[in-house]
Amino acid sequence: MTLADIIERMNLKIYAGRTELERPVRGGYASDLLSDVIANGQKDQLWVTLQIHPNIIAVAALKELAAIILVNGREPAAETAVRADKERIPILGTPLSAFEFAGRAYGLGIQER
């Protein structure tokens, strides 16, 4: 499944990284602790978080994550979106809570791995 498929099925808003929407998604991980994502995130996963500061881009690039999903209607800080476009990291958003988004994503077949 690609990011474009997930965006359509989950009705996600695109904040950054529009050039990377055909990227494959091979799982997901939910955490708001950057150190936890560094330790446990895996390449091509969606990262579900409420963090909006620029450091999330560094973590996503380091771990080669497919995209960052911002929950609870959060929007990235302006600097975060600029860095995301520069690093080609998609940032997507949803009004859903992390719990609800993860449940729906799991229902689409996206698992932790």
Q: What is the pTM of this model?
A: 0.96
Read off the pLDDT band of 3 (50, 70, 90). very high
Where in the chain are the domains? 3-107
Residue range 26-70, pLDDT digits in tens? 999 999 999 999 999 999 999 999 999 999 999 999 999 999 999
Query: Mean pLDDT across the stretch 71-85?
Result: 97
Residues contacting 1, CB < 8 A, separation 6+: 24, 25, 108, 109, 110
Q: Which CATH class is domain 3-107?
A: alpha beta
According to DSSP, the β-strands at 13-16 and 91-93 are: antiparallel
> Closest Cα to residue 43, out of 58, 56, 62, 57?
62
> Closest Cα to residue 28, out of 111, 89, 90?
111
Written as one letter, the residue type at 66 is A
Written as one letter, the residue type at 62 is L
